Amino acid sequence: MTYNQINKNTFEMVKDAMNAIINTNNTNFIKSLDEIDIYNDQKFLEIVQEIKYKEHYGLSLKFTLKLCNYYLNNQKEWKRLLKYYE
């Protein structure tokens, strides 16, 4: 995956989620994301409450957090993506 493979709307959702992850100090939780039972974890709930974009449905939120997992583990890609869209 490279930074130019997501559109502006997806970027905005990921950026919002990344901010929520950082603001709630849950970076390591998402970096080591295990999709099994994530929805019952308090850390997940903290992130969701911090996310400003409220139009997510289950699948879009899962997809967004998976992208956050990728970019947290591939910081160079995230920095390129930020530069590309900002």
In order along its 86 residues, the chain shows pLDDT tens digits of: 555 579 999 999 999 999 999 999 999 999 998 766 677 789 999 999 999 998 887 788 889 999 999 999 999 999 999 999 98
* Token pair listed for 15: 């950026």
- d(C-alpha 60, C-alpha 43), whole Å: 18
Task: State the total domains in the chain.
Answer: 1
Q: Enter the pTM of the model.
A: 0.88
* Structural domain that includes position 70: 3-85
* Token pair listed for 13: 């959702």
